[in-house]
Structure 1
Amino acid sequence: MNIKWHYKAFNELSPPEIYKILQLRSEVFVVEQNCVFLDMDNKDEGCLHLMGFVNDELAAYTRLAPPGYIYEEMSIGRVVTSHKHRSKGLGKELMQYSIALCRQHFGNGPIKIGAQYYLLKFYTSLGFKVISDIYLEDGIEHVYMMLDNTFPVGKVNY
């Protein structure tokens, strides 16, 4: 798969990029997962936005938050891949880029995520460890997970 990765601060995003991000997040989190929640939570503005494009289509996305913005630690959230591009290793590549970008921009501290419980094996395979009991968020089971700052991450090129 020929995917091109781009990341930008919120104020650098173009209106078409913002539209594609919100569209993909809504397609997966609201429609596919049948979850009614307010996705636009006033946190996008302080984050970096990693986008993976296949041709002109947004195939994968994450929101990267600096330490102290959402959690005490830096964090990766709104992890999403388009249903058209799943089962091709894109999720793993997305998270590897996300981890590397966090370390590159926010330092070598731990990274916290609120992971959907059914994806526990996936995130564990990337080095994340469960740090909480299961909790419900918008009717979906989640756990908090942490990637400590000793986990090796290679440098990625964009």
Structure 2
Amino acid sequence: MKTLINYGFIIIAGILLVVQYILAFFIYKLPGIAALQWVGLVVWVLSGIFFIAPIYILRQKGGVENGKSYVETTHLVDTSLYAIVRHPQYLAGILFSIAMMLLAQHWLVILIGIASAVLIWLDNQIADQDCIEKFGDEYLRYMQHVPQLNFL
């Protein structure tokens, strides 16, 4: 289970994502490679899908009790989006960082994006351990078939 220390990775990553977004917003108006900015917009939309979809998927298929958070599942969900990636919201955070890098094309946004992506990945490792504790062998089998973060 996550302790307060374990939340440090994701808290710092979240702060860096906000800083990256604010910087990208102001820097975006600078000239950049338009094709990369268009790719950045597509990646940004994908990050939104990967962030929002799990809220609905886990509520529908995860055995979440009424009034509880969508992350308080009682069943392992391995269908729909979870059939292609184990942690879509972590992937969303990394994709968001990449999108901001492509949109802003500024060295500071890129450095902050790399730092936040690494912290998100580190927190993702903890999430896998938490899921192994929660779901046991069923999750270990799931790990063999579905990538942790699927960029394809």
**TM-score, normalised by the number of residues in structure 2:** 0.35
Pair member with larger Rg? 2
Higher strand proportion:
1
Larger RCO of the pair (alpha carbons < 8 Å, separation 6+): 2
Higher helix proportion:
2
